[in-house]
Amino acid sequence: MIKKAFLLSLLLLLFSNFASAQKLKQLLEDGDKAMADNDFFSAAIYYNKAILQDSSDIAIQYKYAEASRLNFDYDVADRWYTKVYKKDPSGKLYPECVFWLATIKKSKGKYKDARKMFDKYAKKNKKKKDSYFVKKANQEVLACDYAQLLVARPDKTITIIHLDSAVNSKVSEYAPVQIDSVLYFSSLRDAKDRDKKNHVNYNKIYTAIQDSIKWHKANELDTLFNRSGIHNANTAFNEDYSRVYITRCEQKNAQEFVCEIYSSDYKDGRWTSLKKLPSEVNLPGSNNTQPAVGFWGDEEVLFFSSNRSGGEGKMDIWYSKINTDGSYGRAINAGKKVNSIEDEKTPYYCKPCQELFFSSTWHKGLGGLDIFKSPFKDGALAEPVNLGVPINTSYNDLYFSISSDKSKAFLSSNRPGSYFEEKESCCNDIYMFNIPVITEPPKKIDSTQVFVTQMKLLVPLTLYFHNDEPDKKTLAITTKKSYKKAWEEYTAMREQYKKEYSKGAADKDMDRAVNDIEALFDDSVDAGMQDLEKFAQLLVKVLKNNEKVTITMKGYCSPLASTDYNVNLAKRRISSLKNYFMEYENGILVKYVNNPIATEGSITFLEEEIGELKARPNVSDDYYDTKNSVYSPAAALERKIQIIAISTFSAAQ
């Protein structure tokens, strides 16, 4: 009986495991199919169920992270990309994992972390310089630097107002255009007219009226504009409001659309039936959307976004001349200064200021889509300017427009605070802010203060050293060695650190030890040197602009052996940093050190008292235990100095 019971239990266990495996296989197949259909919402649900069955499988973890990112579920994506990255930091299995993790970090406003990861990806894959991912990673390194500057210099005169539930709902609202007291916008809120195949409501166009006190509840426009069974969106008017443009889109799958632009004229007190614009605008086989009437010099044109061939890549801004007889000229690309290899969308033209506003995922910004403006000068659109904080965020910001009375601006964004039903950041809401008279000339930016701000963003700037460096076995408090030389010698020891720190480790622990050393050098030793080079470049610029700069430095020593020797070693390390500045670019900074000329730039070095580090449990003070006292990341992170502060004032003051 016991034997039979055992066999029965074994059979039940085997059957249960088989059934579980079959269920997991089916979930993954369903998830893969949903991903192929661009149905990221469904894919995330399938992979979530799969991961509940096996949360340790790195392949499932990566699939779930990918679906969550594409479904705008950034917290979930961050968690699972991080798990994959820790298991596969070299990127052998998933080479783009660190790239996408960096993208998520940037979307959450963690620009320093994102920059390090983008930089790591770009350098590791530098031989693939023509790769999209390498180009994007290098662009995002610059963007993360710029984003930190924008965050540090917000426009405090702007207050962003989140429109209330009379306008916004728990689904997406976007494309706001205000004419007098009437706000036209698009929304997915109509659950009665639904695309059942793709599990989404059809977009409709709504209006909401604003009086002196509040917004009144939005109403759906009639069937002339809102045809059932198709997406209707993106309202735009010509200069005298006698013609309106909208977009109608058919949905290819959960994420892709085929859109065409329509127009209606106001005649005899009513709007005429919508007519599809000709092939000059609606080029067959391409996506044409987001119309906006503007001017190219003195010529009235229709700006729109399209992925037609002949552009710079993905969606570009194009324009077509609106002829007096109602016909349209051949569509022309708005140019390489505006358009990029990625998406440029939602154009809006401000006639009084002669500027084209649009959103882009490529130009340097804070998030996925940022809002930019490009002035029309000398017969062309000039370099775009980021509208900065608080107009832009680390999330998606788009559909900028200005009210007809030129007193307010609107935009659409999925920033925190937007209404949502299931997950934060899923949906766009409409926001508003008051603007000054738009005929005012733009404020001149003080480039020196921009450079100073960039320097301050690098502080505290931490630099690391190999054990007992520079100049071993001495009580001297100065050295002739510069920090750059000390760093070159240190970073050349990467393989030695891997070998020493992984000694005696089992296979799994050996991989972890090697990965820990890779992270030490990538994220701390080499990253510190990169920040120092950037700091020095900026320092030269501000000194040439006659700034008086004070740099405060601090050395540290371990409490495990806080003797005179360790204090003097910390001072030698400070000395090596001073030497770095004196040798930088063949001594370009030497003349500024303690420069007595009042009208010129100068550098003053200040040293704080040597700081004592808190004892770390994993750091050994055993002279013979070099694995833990010298080569462990915990020990290495204690061997540091910092630039802890920087202050400046102009020599002209």
Q: Does 278 have pLDDT greater than 90?
A: yes
* pLDDT score at 444: 57
Residue with tokens 């013979």: 624
Q: Output the pLDDT for position 426.
A: 75
Answer yes or no: same fold for 21-152 and 161-434. no
485, containing H or E segment: helix 483-491
Is the pLDDT at 328 greater than 60, yes or no? yes
Q: Looking at the predicted structure, is the pLDDT value of residue 2 above 90?
A: no
In which element (H, E) is residue 178 found?
strand 173-179
Query: Two tokens at 614?
Result: 């808190």
Residue-by-residue DSSP string for 109-126: T-HHHHHHHHHHHHHHTG
- For 202-237, give one letter per residue: b (16+ CB within 10 A) or e: bbbbbbbebeeeebeebebbeeebbeeeebbbbbbb
Q: Does residue 358 surpass a pLDDT of 60?
A: yes
Q: Is the dihedral of CA 613, 551, 636, 101 positive or negative?
A: positive
Compute the half-sphere exposure of residue 267: CA atoms within 13 Å on the CB side of its CA.
Answer: 6
- What is the third-level CATH fold of 161-434? Neuraminidase (2.120.10)
- Cβ(272)–Cβ(262) below 8 Å: no
Q: At what angle do helices 2-36 and 40-53 cross, to 10 degrees?
A: 160
Q: Tell me 252's DSSP state.
A: S
Residue 349 has pLDDT above 90, yes or no: yes
Q: Tell me the pLDDT tens digit for each residue of 513-555.
A: 898 998 899 889 998 998 999 999 999 999 999 999 999 999 9
Q: What is the rounded distance in angstroms from the CA atom of residue 173 to the CA atom of residue 144?
A: 28
Share of the chain above pLDDT 70, in %: 91
Helix (H, G, I), strand (E, B) or coil at 328: strand
Q: Residue 17 pLDDT more than 70?
A: no
Q: Which of 65-74, 94-103, 182-191, 499-508 has the lowest mean pLDDT?
A: 499-508
Number of H helices, E strands in the chain: 15, 29
For residue 326, is pLDDT > 90?
no
Query: Residue 425: which pLDDT band, with cuts at 50, 70 and 90?
Result: low
* Distances from the Cα of 11 to the Cα of 18, 25, 601, angstroms: 10, 21, 83
Residue 362 has pLDDT above 60, yes or no: yes
Tell me how crowded residue 133 is: count the other CB atoms within 10 A of its CB. 16
Helix (H, G, I), strand (E, B) or coil at 486: helix
CB count within 10 Å of CB 302 equals: 27
Contact of 652 with 535, CB cutoff 8 Å: no
In percent, how much of the chain has pLDDT > 90?
Answer: 63
Strand arrangement, sheet containing 316-321: 288-296, 299-306, 316-321, 332-333
Residue 346: the pLDDT is 98
Taking only the tens place, the pLDDT of each residue in 214-272 is 899 999 988 899 999 999 999 999 998 899 999 999 988 767 889 999 999 988 878 99
Lowest mean pLDDT among 47-56, 330-339, 436-445: 436-445
C-alpha to C-alpha distance for 336 and 384, rounded to whole angstroms = 11
Q: Would you kindly state where each structural domain of the chain is located, as residue ranges? A: 21-152, 161-434, 447-650
Q: Is 550 exposed, middle or buried (0-12, 13-18, 19+ CB in 10 A)?
A: middle
Which is more confidently placed, 566 or 337? 337
pLDDT at 15: 55
Q: What is the mean pLDDT of residues 485-504?
A: 94
CATH number of 21-152: 1.25.40.10
Task: Work out the mean pLDDT of the chain and round it to a whole number.
Answer: 89
β-strands 429-434, 408-413: how paired? antiparallel
Determine if the peptide bond prior to 470 is cis (ω within 30°): yes
pTM of the model: 0.80
Lowest mean pLDDT among 7-11, 373-377, 649-653: 7-11
What is the sign of the dihedral through the CA atoms of 331, 332, 334 and 336? positive
Least confident of 35-39, 190-194, 297-301, 556-560: 556-560
Strand partners, 328: 322
pLDDT band at residue 610 using 50, 70 and 90 as cut-offs: confident
What's the mean pLDDT in 34-51?
90
pLDDT score of 618: 60
Count of residues for the chain?
A: 653
CB atoms within 10 A of CB 446: 12
Nearest Cα neighbor of 602 from 523, 544, 536 is 544
Please determine, for residue 18, whether its predicted confidence score (pLDDT) is greater than 60: no
User: Under a CB-based contact definition with an 8 Å cutoff, are residues 237 and 179 in contact?
Assistant: yes
